[in-house]
Chain A
């Protein structure tokens, strides 16, 4: 068993999905946590301080590389698995009732993931690109909170963000417990616990993320 052999096998590739998935789940906690500083309603002072730390601290910058590597691996592996899985059934059933045996969101990880990818392109172009440009041109400190207010002042952007968050919810709702199964953990006592934690996690993260554009758009905070 070479490394290549391991990572190109079906379970090796699932392992990549599960492992990077858990890594991204952890990242979202930090992301949602820091962004929640806007709810302090202090004109974004705390939030901007945190954002400044994240973009200037070298440990964070280093972790950022890992984040992108994990994200890209998750995306590429996910897309390629989805295409390969399609090929495993070249002729579709004429009459199929998948709802009798599984949940729609568990069957829709590819589609949900694609929606998230599209969302991510928009999201990065809104916030990430400008932050980096400001970092390297470096004349004046970048006011990320200001930028949030500007972006979320547009109604259709807020709606697109909400669509993104809803996709994220279902993706996480299935993905959280699925990752543990993939890593080989299925236990009479722990699996129900993992499922509950996953549900609570997905709810909290998504409610927080949904509140951000809404709260700014409706000027609950400024």
Chain B
């Protein structure tokens, strides 16, 4: 695709800290290359802000190659912007035209409070993982990888669920602020494998209990999460989560 430069208007959410109110600020950004990533475009703007003695825009990022899930931004009404199965760091400026106005907001969720500007606190996800997103194994020699036969389909499904990077786009997109795609992926990746089987019941019960505590909403199957997930996590993982929870919840003898 042909390279071009563009001038844009950025409307960005600025919020000093969790307590302050926050509002939109408008910034012109000029001479942006179509080959830049969205984050690089913000870097350019931030350098300018710093040079002028202003506070740069705070935003989360780490790998900048689409694998860490940090770059949470709601761009022009969509999580991670207009491209499908894509993170903000992998969104390139060729997605926009010269003269465009771009609105950038943080994830909006009771369970993801704004820390500053575009940065939100996603530790609620960490606490859900801590509640059961693991397997307990004794340390010692590493077991041979192929010692336990696993059905190809299960291995593939588990692998696909494990692609979830915990970015929170599903929550940010869902009209109910539900975290069920994330939790569905995290429960599935272990429930499908023999290594995860022994703790299957307690895992799903504990993770859902934590999810409910964090103030996420309830899934109504709009499937917006699947459409916006950068890793294409399927809503069939939510069905599996439901099934696992119903099985465990209705049969467990533990109080």
Contact = CB atoms under 8 A, between A and B. Distances in A.
Interface of A: 1-2, 6, 9-15, 81, 84-85, 87-98, 100-103, 106-107, 109, 174, 177-178, 181-186
Contacts of A93: 74, 77, 105, 108
A106 B175 CA distance: 10
B110 A88 contact: yes
A77 B253 CA distance: 26
21 contacts: A9-B208, A10-B178, A11-B241, A11-B242, A11-B249, A15-B242, A85-B218, A91-B108, A92-B108, A93-B74, A97-B78, A98-B175, A100-B227, A101-B173, A101-B223, A101-B228, A107-B175, A177-B221, A181-B239, A182-B219, A185-B239
Interface residues of B, number: 53
B220 A88 contact: no
Nearest to A179: B221
Given A101-B228, A184-B239, A89 B223 contact: no
Interface of B: 13, 24, 74, 76-78, 82, 103, 105, 108-111, 173, 175-178, 180, 205, 208-209, 211-212, 215-224, 227-228, 235-236, 238-246, 248-250, 252, 254-255
B177 A106 contact: no
Contact of A181 (B175, B176, B235, B252): B235
Given A11-B208, A184-B239, A101 B245 contact: no
Contacts of A94: 13, 24, 103, 105
Interface centre among B77, B105, B111 (most CB of A within 10 A): B77
Instruction: Say whether chain B's binding surface is mostly helix, strand, loop, or mixed.
Output: mixed
A190 B192 CA distance: 20
Contacts of A12: 249
A118 to B, nearest CB: 20
Contacts of B177: 85, 88-89
B239 A107 contact: no
Contacts of B218: 10, 13-14, 81, 84-85
